[in-house]
Amino acid sequence: MSEAAVESLLSRMKDISTELLQLDLEEEANFNLLLLLQVEQSELRERVDEGLISERRTYTDAEKSILAECLGLEKQLLEVFRHLSEQANRELSLIANGKITRNAYLQEATQINGYFIDSKSK
């Protein structure tokens, strides 16, 4: 695989990282696009690795530069994922606490219907 081909694949990986950062991950409609972009990114990594292995060479300085940019974007994306995960955990915790509080005040009656028997007879 030529250096130009590897650089092209790495540039696409960088573009995908940029697209991922721009996605509104709070919109459920973007989940499929997120998955597709991540799969494409993974396939590109495999192609680059296979190309370098088959040629028995390492990355050039230009390729390392693109990889460094990709890594920086991936770190930013990781922070976005971490923030969303913490936010989801806080919301789940609030829901769980709400259920505990509600159950403390809304206990079921042990007997709803019954009969009253007066011990005095007429």
Q: Give the whole-number percent of the chain exceeding pLDDT 90.
A: 59
Single-letter amino acid, residue 48: V
- pLDDT band of residue 119 (cuts 50, 70, 90) is confident
- pLDDT band of residue 85 (cuts 50, 70, 90) is very high
pLDDT score of 108 = 61
Residue 39 has pLDDT above 90, yes or no: yes
Residue 111 has pLDDT above 70, yes or no: no
pLDDT (average), residues 31-57? 93
Q: Terminus-to-terminus CA distance in the chain, angstroms?
A: 106
- If phi > 0 it is left, if psi is from -120 to 50 it is alpha, else beta; for residue 56 that is left
Residue 10 has pLDDT above 90, yes or no: yes
Single-letter amino acid, residue 40: E
Residue recorded with tokens 């505990």 = 100
pLDDT score of 109 = 57
- Answer whether 13's CB lies under 8 Å from 77's CB: no
Q: Where are the beta strands (DSSP E) in the chain?
A: none
pLDDT score of 77 = 94
pLDDT score of 105 = 65
